Amino acid sequence: MARKRELTAEIESAGDVDDRLEDQKRELATKRDRLDELESTLEELYDEQDDTDTDTDDVLQELRDERADLRSDEAECETQIEQLEAAIDRLEERRDEIEADLEDARDAIEETDIEALKRKRESARAELDDVTERLDVLQSVLTANREMVDSEFTGVLGSDTGLMGDEVTCWTCGRSAPVEELEGTIEELTELVKADKRRKREREPEIEELTEQIEQARRSETEIQQLEAEKGDVEQTLESRRDSLEERRDQRETIRDRLSELDDEIADRAADQRSEQSELTDEIEETRVEIETLRREIERLEETCESLRETRAELERKREEVDRLSDEITALTDRIENLESELRAVFNETMDELLDVLEFERIERVWLDGEFELVIAREVDGRTQSDSIEHLAESEREMIGLVLALAGFITYDVDDVTPVLVLDSLGAFDAERTRRLVDYFADETDYLVATVHPESTVDTAFDTVTFEPPVQN
SS (H, E, C) 38-52: HHHHHHHHHHHHHHC
What pLDDT score does 305 carry? 87
End-to-end CA distance of the chain: 54
The two beta strands, 374-380 and 383-387, are: antiparallel
CA-CA distance, 242 to 85, in Å (whole number)? 8
The residue type at 351:
M
In this structure, are residues 289 and 72 in contact, taking their beta carbons and an 8 Å threshold? yes
Half-sphere exposure of 359 (CA within 13 A, CB side): 6
Helices 394-411 and 114-150, interaxial angle, to 10°? 120
Looking at residues 245-249, what average pLDDT do you find?
A: 89
Backbone angles phi, psi at 380, to 5 degrees: -125, 120
Where does 271-365 have alpha helices with state H? Answer: 275-358
What pLDDT score does 153 carry? 47
Smallest CA-to-CA distance from 228 within 96, 102, 103, 88 is with 102
In this structure, are residues 99 and 208 in contact, taking their beta carbons and an 8 Å threshold? no
- Span of 12-21, 80-89, 150-159 with lowest mean pLDDT: 150-159
In this structure, are residues 76 and 300 in contact, taking their beta carbons and an 8 Å threshold? no
Smallest CA-to-CA distance from 468 within 444, 443, 449 is with 449
Average model confidence (pLDDT) across the chain? 78
CA-CA distance, 145 to 414, in Å (whole number)? 38
Give all strands (DSSP E) within 36-162, no chain letters.
159-162
Written in H, E and C, the secondary structure of 201-262 is: HHHHHHHHHHHHHHHHHHHHHHHHHHHHHHHHHHHHHHHHHHHHHHHHHHHHHHHHHHHHHH
Give kind and range of the element (H or E) at residue 167. Answer: strand 165-169
What pLDDT score does 132 carry? 78
Residue range 261-299, pLDDT digits in tens:
888 888 877 676 656 666 777 788 888 888 888 889 889
* Distances from the Cα of 389 to the Cα of 139, 153, 363, angstroms: 13, 24, 11
With 80 as the cut, is the pLDDT of residue 234 above it?
yes
Helices 431-442 and 394-411, interaxial angle, to 10°? 10
| 287 contacts: CB under 8 Å, gap ≥ 6 | 38, 41, 42, 45
Percent of residues in the chain assigned helix, strand, coil, to nearest 5? 75, 10, 15
Helices 58-110 and 179-270, interaxial angle, to 10°? 160
pLDDT band at 452 (very low <50, low <70, confident <90, very high): confident
Question: Percent of the chain beyond pLDDT 90?
Answer: 5
Looking at residues 432-442, what average pLDDT do you find?
A: 88
- Span of 261-275, 293-307, 404-418 with lowest mean pLDDT: 261-275
Strand order in the sheet with 363-368: 363-368, 374-380, 383-387
CA-CA distance, 245 to 85, in Å (whole number)? 7
With 50 as the cut, is the pLDDT of residue 463 above it?
no
With 60 as the cut, is the pLDDT of residue 4 above it?
yes
Question: Percent of the chain beyond pLDDT 70?
Answer: 81
* Distances from the Cα of 117 to the Cα of 111, 114, 199, 220, 290, angstroms: 12, 5, 20, 15, 71
Between residues 182 and 40, the one the model is more confident about: 40
* Distances from the Cα of 358 to the Cα of 78, 95, 460, angstroms: 91, 71, 17
